Amino acid sequence: MKIINLITNEEVEVSTPKELKEILKYANPMMMRKYKEQMQVLEIAGFGESIEIIRKQVQPNE
Element holding 19 (H helix, E strand): helix 17-24
Domain ranges of the chain: 2-55
Mean pLDDT of each 10-residue bin along the chain, 62 residues long: 86 89 84 86 84 80 63
- Residue 11's pLDDT is 92
**Greatest distance between any 2 Cα atoms in the chain:** 41
Of 60, 22, 15, which is closest to residue 5 (Cα–Cα)? 22
Strand 10-13 relative to strand 52-55, pairing: unpaired
